[in-house]
Amino acid sequence: MMKKMGFRGRTILWFWGIVFSLLTGMLLAMFLLSINTMRSIVRGLFKGMARNIVLQLESTDNRRLTPAQIDHLFALTNDSGNFSFAVFDREGKLLHHSPAFPRQWLTKSRVATPGKLRLLLVKSGRHWHDYLSEWCFLYPYRSSQHIVLIYGIFRFELFERLLEGLGVVCLLSVIIALPASYHFSRRTLRQIERIRQTAESIQQGNYSQRIPLSDKTNNDLRLLVTNLNQTFSALENAIVVHRRFSSDVAHELRTPLTCLIGNLEVTLKKDRSVEEYRDVLNSCLEDARNLALLVERILFLNKPIDSSKFRDVRLDKLVDDVLDSLSSFPLFHNHTVDFHRPEEPVAITGDSILLQQMCTNLIENALKYSPPNTKVSIEVSTQKDNAVFMVKDEGIGIAPEDQKHIFDRFFQVDPSRSSGSGLGLSLVKSVVEAHGGSIAVESAIGRGSVFTVILPRSRSAATQH
């Protein structure tokens, strides 16, 4: 039933339960305190009555009292007519009793512990609205020669008032709970309704929408709304990046595909020689390879790097292998490549294939964007617990406003002069960050660029050092 009930209904029920429990607890505590006080008063009253009876009994010389004496004792102890008594000797033999004394308590075995007041019965009064208001007590008193039992009936309205009070408590708790819970649920639901409206708006495509906050919002809801707004901001940024990335990918794929389709359409318009077909096919093959490389790089940038496969790699030897593989390209021989090798081996922990791709991209960029017959300097060194890989060229340089964007995907400083995809440096940065390193660039127009990669050395090498 609680699951089917709305938030406002559950709030009203919770408030009512809390208020009802508090008021009922207070009423019950007052009732128990009153009962304890009442028992103390009855015990004192019965004790005084028993003493008077014992004094009258022990003041007589004979053990058998005359009826006149019994009536006199009864009159002394029964002004209201609600009390009666029974007298036993020390052996428990009944000597005399009031006519109204209950017979089930006249047997010898019924003589109870002296001085202990016993509640025998609580019964209804004479009228239907009395609600168990008559209380019957028994009090034993022992003297040196006699045992006296006092039996009395008291009319207390405490229980009656308690039941009436419970009804008042129910009504009062509802009266208090309804406006309080309504006010609380209204404030809470108002903010929840704002959250729902904002979520619905974002679902419809308004990604910049945020949940408004008021000064009256409580701390718990304020924290929730703040976290949700931060989540919505991160979602918006992710969607913007995804859209830009999708647009850039579509643009980068469209250009080579358009060239490829155009070359094939032009070639098929008329018959050509075998050599012409071969040239066109070679050109198309080159375009297809570039497309495959572009797709491969896009997939790489969107795939997490598994660091569990990292192994110790010699960075200086890895750079030597990259230079050997690049030495077969004509572009390599148009420049002076100077590699400053370290005096001792420099080991890092990582993926050798990814690190080789990183070094290749940086060295290729230095060769590609430097005029012929210029120098490209490469250096591997150590800096405390880090390995440093630096590539310096004397090329065209990068403007200061472009330096903060060169690691963005598909960014190109001068697209008209570049034949690349704009993913090379993005790939380099991804590899460096996956290995726990950093990359920085220093450049000036017409003075060349310096790319510096800092990677943590392997633990074994750092310890030996």
Cβ 88 vs Cβ 147: under 8 Å? yes
Residue with tokens 């708006």, as numbered in its chain: 201
Considering the segment(s) 7-164 as one domain, its CATH architecture is: 2-Layer Sandwich (3.30)
List CB contacts of 103: < 8 A, sequence separation 6 or more. none
What are the start-end ranges of the H helices in 67-210? 67-77, 158-203
Q: What does each C-alpha distance from 96 to 66, 147, 149, 202, 393 come to in angstroms? A: 10, 11, 11, 94, 129
pLDDT at 388: 94
Residues composing the chain = 465
pLDDT at 1: 47
**Model confidence pTM above 0.85:** no
Residue 441 DSSP SS3:
strand
d(CA 328, CA 321): 12
pLDDT in tens, the chain (465 residues): 445 556 666 776 777 777 777 777 777 787 778 778 878 888 888 888 888 877 777 776 545 556 566 556 656 655 555 788 888 877 778 877 777 788 877 775 455 567 677 776 666 555 555 555 667 778 788 887 778 888 887 776 666 666 666 667 777 777 776 777 767 667 667 777 788 888 888 888 888 888 887 766 667 777 888 888 888 888 888 787 677 667 666 766 776 777 778 878 888 888 888 888 888 888 888 778 777 766 776 666 566 677 777 889 999 999 998 888 888 777 788 888 899 989 889 999 988 888 888 898 899 888 888 888 899 999 999 988 899 999 999 888 888 888 887 877 666 766 545 555 666 788 888 889 888 999 999 988 888 899 999 999 987 654 444
What are the start-end ranges of the H helices in 60-96? 67-77
d(CA 408, CA 241): 11
pLDDT at 317: 93
Q: Helix 158-203 vs helix 219-268: angle between axes, to the nearest 10 degrees? A: 20
Q: How far apart are the first and last CA of the chain?
A: 71
Cβ 105 vs Cβ 149: under 8 Å? yes
Phi/psi class of residue 131: alpha, beta or left (left: φ > 0; alpha: ψ in -120 to 50)?
left
Q: Please determine, looking at this structure, whether the domain spanning 207-303 carries the CATH number 1.10.10.
A: no
Phi/psi class of residue 102: alpha, beta or left (left: φ > 0; alpha: ψ in -120 to 50)?
beta
pLDDT at 105: 77
Q: Amino acid identity of 373?
A: N
DSSP structure string for 281-314? HHHHHHHHHHHHHHHHHHHHHTS---GGG-EEEE
List CB contacts of 226: < 8 A, sequence separation 6 or more. 213
Per the structure block, which two tokens stand in for 74? Answer: 């009864």
d(CA 38, CA 154): 10
The 8-class DSSP code of residue 64 comes to S
Cβ 358 vs Cβ 453: under 8 Å? yes
Phi, psi angle pair for 24, to nearest 5°: -65, -40
Of the candidates 154, 156, 155, 148, which has an alpha carbon nearest to the alpha carbon of residue 74?
Answer: 148
Cβ 443 vs Cβ 398: under 8 Å? yes
pLDDT at 313: 92
d(CA 328, CA 238): 42
Of the candidates 390, 372, 369, which has an alpha carbon nearest to the alpha carbon of residue 453?
Answer: 390
Q: Considering the domain 307-464 in this protein, what is its CATH number?
A: 3.30.565.10
What are the start-end ranges of the H helices in 302-406? 315-326, 330-333, 352-368, 400-403
Q: Amino acid identity of 207?
A: Y
pLDDT at 450: 93
Q: Report CA dihedral (365, 371, 375, 381) to the nearest 10 degrees.
A: -20
pLDDT at 463: 46
Instruction: List the chain domain ranges.
Output: 7-164, 207-303, 307-464
d(CA 461, CA 312): 9
d(CA 284, CA 290): 10
Q: Amino acid identity of 383?
A: Q
